[in-house]
A and B are shown apart, each in its own frame.
Chain A
Amino acid sequence: MGIPVVQMANIVSIAKTIGANRIVPTVAIPHPLGDPLLSETEQRKLRHHRVGIALDSLKTNIEETTIFEVKE
């Protein structure tokens, strides 16, 4: 039995091409879960949100590659 994996990726099209099944989009290549233009607090909030989506995706049943959308 395999274990579920969620890929948090900036270039979603590549993640899809290589066969990732659960995908959560990230901010940018050098800082997937942060943004130097934002304050520390805002960055942490953003990271908290996206990792939360990622965790929820792990308990979601999927049949095919699924992109879990983020709010901000």
Chain B
Amino acid sequence: MKKAIYYINQFFGQIGGEASADYEPEIREGVLGPGLLLSNLLDPDIEVTHTIICGDNYFASNEEKAIDKILHDLEDHYFDVFVAGPAFNAGRYGFACGAICQAVQERFGVPAITSMYEENPAVPIYRDQIYIFSGGNSAAHMRKDLPVVANFMKRTMNGEEHLSAKEEGYFPRGVRLETFHKPPVISAERAVDMLLKKLNGDEYETEIPMPSLKGVPPAEPISDLSQSKIAIVTSGGIVPDGNPDGIQSASATKWGQYDISGLNELMQGEWQTIHGGFDPSAANENPNVIVPLDVLREYDREGKIGEIHNDIYTTVGTGTTEAEATRMGGEISEDLKKSGVDAVILTST
């Protein structure tokens, strides 16, 4: 039989209400409160061996201490899965469930599962790290929400294939897995079906939802171009011949920084593109079609700009995830600012 450990707050742990919210974390054998229901739902596949109880205020005010104590207590016990909540729409409880699930999952490598109302502020913070099931907004939903969690725990522990986040009922984590469509309908037919629905003005559901992006406000313009240091950044994969940093041709996780000081242009044979998303022949013949150093030098000589930054920055923008792109963009920006760059030309392919 698989073993589970269950985290609940002081209220569900029957210590008390708001007056007991400073209750320090404690681990107990067996179950109480909603743990009895969970235990019944999991029987006979999974046994809930222990319950951790912690006051919501204690966790919120002493997060690091609370997590350390709980992780320390857990070291003495073997368990296959960790479960917390449901936290419904309780903000402090939601953050505690999210934080402890993430910490336990990281330390012990077991799946960590919780449940919250969609507007619980902890949902956007932890949803991509752990399984957060979409639950009701108050404890009145306990009997509805806990069976969903228990069912997922049982199926996970039995090694059954997971369905999509939507079918399972948890908030999408932004992870894509390959799977066969059930029933088997080829993608061309599904795409045509969607198109027909769209043309008829009917409801249809995309299979590839676009991430909603937080834009950044436009930066202030530079006041005097002739005094400014300009840098070139590209997602077009222009690298020194041989790709010294091994930047990937697709789904890149690396970026490179290359010295172009003293170069009037990027010469054929000395530079190449390693971008895997287009025919590279034009860019390999003349790399300036992606990194326009030749004409930027002209503007430099004319005095239209103050100077050109000594380095160019490169990555590959095909199949690259938003998360990786954001990280790389942040790292490149840091270097640009450290180098006193005033403005950037970003070329994309």
Contacts and interface: CB of A to CB of B under 8 A. Distances in A.
Contact of A51 (B279, B280, B296): B296
Choose among A29, A61, A66 the residue with the greatest number of B CB atoms under 10 Å from its CB: A29
B222 interface: yes
Contacts of B233: 5
A18 B289 contact: no
A60 B220 CA distance: 8
A7 B346 CA distance: 5
A36 B299 contact: no
B289 A31 contact: yes
Interface residues of A, number: 44
Interface stretch (B38-46, B119-127, B335-343): B335-343
Contact of B346 (A5, A31, A61, A64): A5
Contacts of A61: 220-221
Interface stretch (B54-62, B101-109, B211-219, B240-248): B211-219
Contacts of A26: 347
Interface in A12-67: 15, 17-22, 26, 29-34, 36, 43-44, 47-48, 50-52, 54-56, 58-66
B141 interface: no
B295 A48 contact: yes
Contacts of A66: 218
A28 B283 CA distance: 11
B195 interface: no
Contact of A3 (B225, B299, B337, B347): B337
Nearest to A30: B278
Contacts of B342: 3
Contacts of A22: 218
Interface string B235-263: 01000000000000000000000000000
A19 B215 contact: yes
Contacts of A34: 282, 286, 288-289
Contacts of A18: 213
B298 interface: yes
A10 B349 contact: yes
Contact of A2 (B216, B223, B277, B280): B216
Interface of B: 210, 213-225, 228, 230, 233, 236, 277-283, 285-286, 288-290, 292, 294-296, 298-299, 304-305, 333, 336-337, 341-349
25 contacts: A3-B341, A3-B342, A4-B220, A5-B233, A5-B344, A8-B347, A9-B347, A9-B348, A21-B216, A26-B347, A29-B278, A31-B282, A32-B290, A33-B288, A34-B289, A47-B292, A47-B295, A51-B292, A52-B295, A54-B345, A55-B299, A55-B304, A55-B345, A58-B230, A58-B345
Interface of A: 1-10, 15, 17-22, 26, 29-34, 36, 43-44, 47-48, 50-52, 54-56, 58-66
Given A4-B222, A55-B225, A59-B222, 16 more contacts: A2-B219, A4-B220, A4-B221, A4-B343, A15-B348, A21-B218, A30-B349, A31-B282, A33-B289, A34-B289, A43-B286, A55-B304, A58-B222, A58-B225, A59-B223, A65-B218
